[in-house]
A and B are shown apart, each in its own frame.
Chain A
Amino acid sequence: MRISSMRYLVHQGFKGIWKNRMMSFASFCIMLVSLLMVGISVLLAININRIIGGIEDKSELVVQIKDGCSQEQIDELKNNLSSLPNVNTIEFYSKEQAWESMVKDMTKEEQELFQYADDNFLPDTFRVTVHDIKEMTLTTTQISTFSNVESTRSPSEFTDVLISIRRILGIISGAIVIALIVVCLIIISNTTRASVFARRKEINIMKYVGAKNSFIRIPFFIEGMIVGLLAAAAALGLTKFAYDGVYNIFNNDFKLWSVLGINNLYSFDDLFIHVTIAYAVAGALIGALGTSFSTGKHLKV
């Protein structure tokens, strides 16, 4: 195809938007709402996942070291712990630190009573966090087989609940996102079909003068892509505005929620590139393919 012909087709695509501005506007609005619904749902799902992940990260298992172990034995145990693939961080918590912490948490009366205690009965411990919380039980069992380990404690019930919540939320958010995508595709396809139907005579004439299907489709493809990209840009702006608003509320006004990992919310800047690419690709593809597929029916002349 000649460059002049390609330029003409691209130009026709742009002109088509203005000439059919009402239908273009309808497609724009439908795509904007669709992208917003899907985009916000995905962002919500990502953040819920991260919040639960944040809570999971705070779950640690405690390894009590046998009383009377030498420094070499403690170091050896630490090496053994680090050799486990699921172990993330290892923090040594001496019996002195544990005693201090315990006394600090006591009432005055209790503290007075405890000052007469002549022996620190608390053990040295390792506090271990894991990479995969689902493997925590297995890791705990492995650790308990190491020498110089008195006992292990892990919040297995709590982590089981978290895993279940995460799985259920994953299924629910996945189902919602898929349902939204399907609904949006149906709505967009109907809107673009109506837009193309309004111009079926034009397509019919093109066929009679010997236009190839690709020649007819290209301007519709470009038109759909531009409308899709405009909808994506508007959706990006609106998403940023809404997201920043919600993010600031959680970050500034609910700092206490950080205990639950709420401070783990992604900032929009973290997600900007991903959201931009997702919106642009989805908008352009849905717009372009939706419109050019809708022309197919009218090309059979």
Chain B
Amino acid sequence: MVEFKDVSVTYSSGVDALNKVNLKINDGDFAFVVGPSGAGKSTLIKLVLKEIDATNGEVIVNGFNLRKLRRGKIPALRRTIGVVFQDFRLIPTMTVYENVAFVLRVIDAPAKYIRSRVPYVINLVGLSDKTKSYPTELSGGEQQRVALARALVNDPKLIIADEPTGNIDPALSYEIVGLLKGINECGTTVLMVTHEHELVRYFGGRIININKGSIAFDEVIGGTHENK
């Protein structure tokens, strides 16, 4: 669950990135966050990951009150969140298997569990035949699927996808969002930031439109694929 209560963020440059934002994303929701560049979408993501602190207001993520969360406890928060970035952010010196297994090693998971869980998740994203490949040997779509597997392997309560289709072919974009939808159907909350209105219209669901640091629109719409 993600909850923003009167959250404002003013950067040291004086720019007001968010202005008294109130928002609640319940467990199991799938929400698209849309809006023009500079609207405050990235600030919202940074707040959820506790990369920055709110100037005013309270942010609660998966039961953690981020205002009160000490620096040493940030890893515990982040272990409940899976993140998918636009630029994939895979470790180039690690194979697909190692990139995914790495997350479990971070949380000190038993070796036996790692050996069974990692191939299962890689299989879920359809990359069973690429486990020994390095990121540079994969296409953009494949790299994003590895990133998705990495976000998923820890069985997080929340997945944040920051423009996950920004660097891949439009055709593959639908595949990636389809995978995220499938993950959501299994109970994981998904928060996806995107610029691609076509994609949003196609899948539908909860749309949060941020403009000039405020929520301009927060409604559930039907997807065009449901009409087909």
Chain B CB within 8 A of A255 CB: no
- Binary per-residue interface labels of chain B (131-143) against chain A in the complex, 1 for a CB within 8 Å, 0 otherwise: 0000000000000
The 8 closest A-B pairs by CB, nearest first: A210-B79, A210-B78, A4-B111, A211-B106, A210-B75, A209-B103, A212-B75, A19-B93
The interface size bin for chain A is 10 to 19
Which residues of A from 1 to 35 have beta carbons under 8 Å from B? 1-2, 4-5, 8, 19
Does B69 interact with chain A (Cβ within 8 Å)? no
Q: Is B226 an interface residue (CB 8 A)?
A: no
- Supposing A2-B110, A301-B51 touch, asked if A208 and B78 sit within 8 A by C-beta, the answer is yes
| Docked CA distance A60–B174 (Å) | 97
Among B93, B103, B106, B108, contact of A2 (Cβ-Cβ < 8 Å)? B108
Q: Within the complex, which residue of A1, A19, A201 is in contact with B108, where a contact is CB–CB below 8 Å?
A: A1
A212: chain B residues within 8 A (beta carbon) = 75, 106
Q: Please, which residue of chain A has its CB at the minimum distance from the CB of B49?
A: A208
> Smallest distance from the beta carbon of B157 to chain A beta carbons, Å?
13
Cβ of A155 to closest chain B Cβ, rounded Å: 67
- Distance from B215 Cβ to chain A, minimum over Cβ atoms (Å): 25
**A209–chain B nearest beta-carbon distance, Å:** 5
Q: A215 at interface (Cβ–Cβ under 8 A)?
A: yes
- Which residues of chain B (103-139) have a CB below 8 Å from chain A? 103, 105-108, 110-111
Tell me whether B78 and A209 are in contact (CB under 8 A): yes
B193 at the A interface (CB under 8 A): no
Complex: chain A residue closest to B80, CB-CB: A210
Return the CB mask of B79-94 against A: 1 if under 8 Å, else 0.
1010100000111010
Given contacts A19-B93, A204-B89, contact A209 B110 (CB under 8 A): no
- B51 proximity list for chain A (CB < 8 A): 301
Contact with B along A201-219 (1 / 0, CB 8 A): 1101111111110010000
Contact yes or no, A210 B105, CB < 8 A: no
Query: Can you list 12 pairs linking A and B with CB atoms under 8 Å apart?
Result: A1-B108, A4-B110, A4-B111, A5-B105, A201-B89, A202-B91, A208-B83, A209-B78, A209-B83, A209-B106, A212-B106, A301-B51
Residue of A nearest to B153 (CB): A209
CB neighbors of B among A173-204 (8 A):
201-202, 204
Cβ–Cβ < 8 Å partners of A5 in chain B: 105, 108
Residues of A within 8 A of B49 (CB): 208
Chain B interface, number of residues (Cβ within 8 angstroms): 23
Decide if A210 touches B89 in the complex (CB within 8 Å): no
> Is A205 a contact of B89 with CB atoms below 8 Å?
yes
Residue of chain A at shortest CB distance from B87: A201
Question: Which of chain A's residues have a CB closer than 8 A to the CB of B203?
Answer: none
A212–B107 Cα distance when bound, in Å, is: 9
Contacts A210-B75, A211-B106, A301-B51 given: A205-B91 contact, CB under 8 Å?
yes
| Complex Cα–Cα for A202 and B106 (A) | 13
Q: B111 to nearest A CB, angstroms?
A: 4
Within 8 A of B (CB), among A148-178: none
Contact with B along A60-92 (1 / 0, CB 8 A): 000000000000000000000000000000000
Return the chain B residue nearest A19 by Cβ.
B93
Please measure, in the bound complex, the distance between the C-alpha atom of A1 and the C-alpha atom of B78, giving whole angstroms. Answer: 19
Question: Beyond the given A5-B108, A206-B106, could you list 8 further A-B residue pairs with CB under 8 A, ordered by the A residue number?
Answer: A4-B110, A201-B89, A202-B93, A205-B89, A209-B103, A210-B79, A210-B154, A215-B106
Please tell me if B76 contacts chain A, counting CB pairs below 8 Å.
yes
Q: Which B residues lie within 8 Å of A1 (CB)?
A: 108
B145 at the interface (CB under 8 A from A): no
Whether, in the assembled complex, B102 has its beta carbon less than 8 Å from a beta carbon of chain A, the answer is yes
Asked whether B93 lies within 8 Å of A209 as measured between CB atoms, the reply is no
Residues of A with C-beta under 8 A to B78 = 207-210
Q: Does B206 contact A (CB under 8 A)?
A: no
Q: Residue B150 at the A interface, CB < 8 A?
A: yes
Contacts of B89 in A (CB 8 A): 201, 204-205, 208
Report A163 CB to chain B, min CB distance, Å: 56
Nearest to A6 among chain B residues (CB) is: B108
A residues near B76, Cβ cutoff 8 Å:
210
Q: How far is the CA of A5 from the CA of B104 in the complex (A)?
A: 10
Q: How far, in whole Å, are A211 and B90 apart by their CA atoms in the complex? A: 15
A6 to B46, CA, bound (A): 31
